[in-house]
A and B are shown apart, each in its own frame.
Chain A
Amino acid sequence: MQDTTPVAVVVDGQPVHLWAVEAGLACCGVEYAAATTLISQLQAQTSIDLDAFASGDSDSANVLVVSGTVTTALAPYVVALYQRMGPGARVMSFGACAATGGPYWDSYAVVDGVDRLVPVDVYVPGCPPSPEALIDGLRTLLLDVRA
């Protein structure tokens, strides 16, 4: 379930590195991976300078991206992944399922919001979120990190 996708962000000339480790639990996992490949293409349209890098390791990750439906079966692994990250780790909820359970919010087998398991810093809406929504989420997270 673990897929390291480091993302480095430069804002106003100041590099702030968001090293994201993704818990890709369902279809949003694929959508997140696709969206990250578009970040460099979309950065020209945004007011902030985003760049995606291709290397890194999960131990240095400081952002946990939970993308996809959090089933009760996989919930302990999401918690374990969060606990393995150092203090100050940020959590991004990517997509409707991670935020609230999405269309499965009423299911006995689905956690209706990953914030029931780990503290979430930013919620990116969508089903799936667009690459623009991911960039907005990174921007929001970044303002939060710098604050």
Chain B
Amino acid sequence: MNSQPRRGSIALNPPDCTSCMLCVKECPDKCIHIESHPVVQETGGARPVTVQHLDRFAIDFGLCMYCGICIDVCPFDALAWVGQSTPSAATGSGSLMHEMDQLATGWNSSDD
């Protein structure tokens, strides 16, 4: 914990996200977008369990203030700082709306 990386960008580990929406609710300028649908799982227990399947997780880095509240509130540590700054986006060739796969790429590079 004492080696917190500098606030470059924010990465997501999709398998750890439960679509609980806490980050979406706590984000001061509402730059996180989550879409999910319920999936009923038979666990062999007394009754089936309904979980949320994550369909979309996107952060609008054009809006993000890099406050880190989403990282702080995530109960499952599915979000983390990565050291590299979010790349700039040129009109026509890029977007600051980073979707799940792009956010996950950042997570993999943060393990280095």
Q: Which A residues contact B (CB, under 8 angstroms)?
A: 96, 99-103, 105, 113, 115, 119-127, 129-130, 132-133, 136-137, 139-141, 143-144
Contact = CB atoms under 8 A, between A and B. Distances in A.
Interface of B: 8, 28-29, 60-67, 85-91, 93-94, 96
Contacts of A101: 63
Given A99-B62, A125-B61, A105 B90 contact: no
Contacts of B67: 127
B91 A133 contact: no
Contact of A130 (B29, B85, B87): B85
CB-CB nearest 10 A-B residue pairs: A127-B65, A137-B88, A99-B62, A125-B61, A140-B88, A133-B85, A103-B29, A100-B63, A100-B62, A125-B86
Nearest to B86: A125
B61 to A, nearest CB: 4
B65 A121 contact: no
Q: Which of B63, B87, B89, B91 has the most chain A CB within a 10 Å cutoff? A: B63
Contacts of A96: 29, 62-65
A142 B68 CA distance: 31
A103 B28 contact: yes
A102 B63 contact: yes
Contacts of A123: 62, 88-91, 96
A101 B85 CA distance: 20
Contacts of A115: 91
Contacts of A103: 28-29, 65
Contacts of B65: 96, 102-103, 127
Q: Which of A103, A120, A123 has the most chain B CB within a 10 Å cutoff? A: A123
Given A103-B28, A103-B29, A105-B29, A127 B88 contact: no
A126 B87 CA distance: 10
B89 to A, nearest CB: 5
B60 A100 contact: yes
6 contacts: A103-B65, A119-B91, A125-B85, A132-B8, A132-B85, A133-B85
A102 B66 CA distance: 11
A132 to B, nearest CB: 5
B88 A133 contact: yes
